[in-house]
Structure 1
Amino acid sequence: MPSAIVTGATGILGREIVFELSKNREQWQKVHALSRSKKEDYPPNVTHNYIDLTSSVDGMAKDLQNVRAEYIFFAAYLQKDSEQENWDANGAMLSNFLQALLKTDTIKGVKRILLVTGAKQYGVHLGAPKNPMTESDPWLTGEQWPPNFYYNQQTILHKFCKEHGKEWVVTYPNDVIGTATGNFMNLATATALYALVSKELEQYLVFPGSPDFYTRFDSFTSSKLHAEFCAWAALEPRAGNQAFNVVNGDVESWQNLWPKVASYFGLKVKPDQFRKRQVDEKAHITDMAGKLGLVQSDVQTSQSSSSPLAEQSPISSRAEELGLQGHGITQQSNIDQQIDLIKWSNRDDVKNAWLNVAEREGLDKTTFEKATWGFLGFVLGRNYDLVMSSSKARKIGWRGYRDTWESLEEVFNELERAKVLPKSE
């Protein structure tokens, strides 16, 4: 029966891979969950093993001494301050881990290695990509593009597998909807906290991101669906030595999702939410100051922000062949926030509103400061479409699907059970 090693087992994607494999004990007899700490109560067929993926080959080999498996799921990720640092750190983690498998002879029994990456593959962090994004799209290499650590990791993996006669699979999820214990780098948690504070401030739920993106299209990935795909792709013969987009299967927009978010938290969307609103908002917040125990000097109005991305959008690399030379989409893209969420989260009235909610509902007060407001601001602030094709996986038999709103609602429910959020009314 197959056995597995999962690195990054406490992350938003690695965690779900562990639990997905553990469901089928007849198929996956043994699952090794590798991380620097144990944050979950695992089923009987899952063993937690300590590992520091930033250590040396010898250090990791010592941690892996008694760990054996046929399938490797590498879902670890380390965020650094620059793209070059991301290239170096994440490349070293994967390379040293693979060399440690050699050093312990674990590699002899390995059949396939699955690497989890993401839509940065297509340069979505740099600006507008070609839509729909397909796995055959060329990599963005050359001096005009910053280093992309996913390219480094895939090059390392391809070379290693070729040298040692192993198969590989790579996944490209996008805008992941999920949760992980103590990990708030996900859009669901921050979105929910934003809604809760808006409700406490007796406001409408105003979309804080780009007015353009509100009506554009996005492809999301349920962390549970991604885990199901990983379990399938590890064993599917036709998936070997292939990379796949892994998205829910629907194409969504916030004009459809945002009213549902508002309704879930007992709010309404402001009918004219994209009109200039600072004057009205300042008057409202001043009115709320007394209710929240603030003096007027503590009250700060939220501010919009606009941040340029790469000088040329990723689609510009193919402008000639696509007939798009001179088209506006090839020019610089922006992250536009009509409410800059980092500034918003630092407002005194917002902080006090959160503390009121946390105290009243018995929640962890530190949850708010752990939320990744910059990440949510980026996700909502883009001014271009992100559509990813699932055709390649479907052509070889993948049939997985998730409704994006239902995925988001499910995560809200999980966060309530974990007492990260109060119980919805």
Structure 2
Amino acid sequence: MTNLSSSSPSVPHLPKVALVIGANGVIGSNLIQHLLTLPDWDIIGVSRRGGMDRERLRYLSVDVLDENDTIDKLGSLQEVTHLFYAAYQDRPSWAELVEPNLTMLINVLNAVEPAAPHLQHVSLMQGYKVYGAHLGPFKTPALEQDATPMPPEFNMAQQQFVEQRQQGKSWTWSAMRPSVVCGVALGNPMNLALVIAVYASLSREIGIPLRFPGKPGAYHSLLEMTDATLLAKATVWAATEPQCGNQAFNINNGDLFRWNELWPKIASYFEMETAPPLPMPLDVMMQDKEALWQRMVEQYDLEPHPYSDVSSWAFGDFVFGWDYDFFADGSKARRFGFYEFVHTEQMFWDIFDDLRVQRIIPG
């Protein structure tokens, strides 16, 4: 593995060194996998659980909510050139999200910025909450320059902090605004593809049709998704293109869908019948399914992941409750030079295939 601490300010052509905060989440882990495909990057992944080092990648176990631990572990990383911030702390209410999520970012920047003389860019991971999407029907398609909702909202609190901190500095920032991010990562509180896959697997095992469990209006709303790998590519692009400095970008797959068209296709993938939608809170209905899941793990020789790591039912309820259109205009990124897109249906099939290959769900 490359010795990431060997870089010196006196050495020309310093390698790009990414510090990824939130390295084990669906966004951070896919960002790291993408960076590993690029030969001119070294990567430091930061999370509470740490990880397994490999060539050009090392992990640090850090509680970034703890100021002292953050300074102790990150305060000597002189080699960092790009900070990718994708950490998230969940809380019961929107207002409660601000304090921990802003504190973590402040702790990280307070530790890294003074230590890293070659810091070039700080990348923030946001979402459509900056447009008030979590509160109810919002203006669609949302634009990066749209008015923000009344605070508290942690994404904008983080951006305002970084904007103020950046004044007079040589580094720049970017804010990436994906829709619902889909990828493969366990133990993540926001992983819709895994919610659908586990819900379908349980329904199939019980012998019932695959029903859409959300609000009636949500079945017909217009939605979009963001593939985690696509987001990773866009994030690195924005962090390394000078014209993208101090800009926000909506990042989405580039197509739109309605559940009433996609849901029967998902049922077909799992070789299941459908039945009319029936509103039911998954967070309640799935509480007694842990024993069933454990029997399935044994019967189908699945990897023995805890039930809590493969189920994000509250997030599924949140997404399936959007009885209003949920999409943003992604053309700004294209105008700045990012042209990649993903077919959303194929994204789901690829993720479901991967979950089967990894023996997370039955084949």
TM-score normalised per structure 1? 0.78
Which residue in the other structure is 2:23 paired with? 9
Whole-Å separation in 1 of the counterparts to 2:75 and 2:207 = 57
SS of the aligned residue for 1:13 comes to helix
Partners of 2:208 and 2:220 in 1: how far apart?
22
**Which residue of 1 is the match for residue 127 of structure 2?**
118
Q: What amino acid does structure 2 have at the position aligned with 1:422?
A: P
Confirm or deny: 8 A CA contact 1:208 1:340 kept in the other structure.
yes
Partner of 1:283: none
Aligned residue among 369, 373, 381 for 2:313? 373
Unaligned runs of 5+ in 1: 275-336
Contact 1:22 1:43 in 2 (8 A): no
- 1:212 maps to 217
1:16-40 per-position Cα deviation (integer Å, ceiling 9, x unaligned): 1111111111x22x1111112234x
Q: Distance between the aligned counterparts of 2:350 and 2:36, measured in 1?
A: 20
How far is the alpha carbon of 1:49 from its aligned partner? 2.1
Report if aligned partners of 2:179, 2:252 keep a CA contact under 8 Å in 1.
Answer: yes
| Structure 2: runs of 5+ lacking an equivalent | 1-14
Match of 1:277 in 2: none
What's the counterpart of residue 82 of structure 1? 93
Q: 1:158 aligns with which of 147, 160, 163?
A: 163
Percent of pairs with identical residues: 31
Match of 1:390 among 300, 320, 330: 330
In the alignment, which residue of structure 2 is the partner of 1:73?
A: 84
| 2:352 counterpart SS class | helix
**Which shows bigger deviation, 65-74 or 372-381?**
65-74
| More moved, 45-54 vs 169-178 | 45-54
> Which 10-residue stretch deviates more, 390-399 or 204-213?
204-213
Structure 1: which amino acid aligns with 2:157? N
Q: CA deviation at 1:359?
A: 2.5
Instruction: Measure the CA separation in 2 of the matches of 1:98 and 1:369.
Output: 31
CA 42–184 in structure 1, closer or farther in 2 if over 3 Å, else same? farther
Give, as a single letter, the amino acid of the residue that structure 2 aligns with 1:31.
I
8 Å Cα contact 1:6-1:31 kept in structure 2: yes
Per the alignment, in what secondary structure is the counterpart of residue 109 of structure 1? Answer: coil
2:43 counterpart of 1:38: no
Q: How many residue pairs are counted as aligned between the two chains?
A: 347
Quote how far apart the aligned CAs of 1:364 are: 5.0
Q: Equivalences for 1:330-369 in 2 at 5 Å?
A: 338-347=279-288, 350-351=289-290, 353-363=292-302, 367-369=306-308
Alignment partner, residue 351 of structure 2: 411
Change (3 A) 1:265 1:184: farther
Q: Aligned-pair distance for 1:367? A: 4.1
**Alpha-carbon distance in 1 for matches of 2:317, 2:186:** 22
Residue 43 of structure 1 deviates from its aligned partner by 4.1
- The verdict on how the C-alpha distance between 1:259 and 1:169 changes in structure 2, with shifts beyond 3 A counting, is same
- The match for 1:21 among 13, 28, 35 is 35
Provide closer, same or farther for how the CA distance between residues 351 and 87 of structure 1 changes in structure 2, counting only shifts above 3 A.
closer
Within the candidate set 178, 196, 201, 2:183 is matched to: 178
1:340 counterpart letter in structure 2 = P
Distance 1:368 1:190 in 2: 12
Q: Which residue of 1 aligns with 2:252?
A: 247
CA distance in 1, matches of 2:308, 2:85: 29
CA contact (8 A) 1:3 1:31 kept: yes
Within 1, Cα distance between the matches of 2:162 and 2:47?
20
- Report the counterpart of residue 257 of structure 1 in structure 2: 262
Distance 2:82 2:61 in 1: 18
Q: Quick one: which amino acid aligns to residue 5 of structure 1?
A: L
Deviation (angstroms), 1:65 = 4.0
1:169 aligns with 2:161: no
Distance 1:17 1:155, change over 3 A: same
Matched, 1:63 2:73: yes
Aligned residue for 1:421?
361
Change (3 A) 1:359 1:102: closer
**Kept in 2: contact 1:184–1:190 (CA 8 A):** no
CA contact (8 A) 2:188 2:312 kept: no
Whole-Å separation in 1 of the counterparts to 2:291 and 2:160: 48
Match of 1:190 in 2: 195
Aligned partners of 2:35 and 2:160: how far apart in 1? 27
Q: 1:367 & 1:255 partners in 2: Cα distance?
A: 32
- C-alpha distance in structure 2 between counterparts of 1:406 and 1:199, whole Å: 22
Q: Distance in 2 between matches of 1:38 and 1:110?
A: 23
Question: Structure 1 residues 92 and 358 mapped into 2: Cα distance closer, same or farther (>3 Å)?
Answer: same
1:129-148 matches, within 5 Å, as 129-141=138-150, 146-148=151-153
AA aligned to 2:146 is D
CA RMSD, 1 decimal: 1.8
State the TM-score, normalizing by the size of structure 2: 0.90
The one-letter amino acid paired with 2:70 is M
Larger radius of gyration: 1
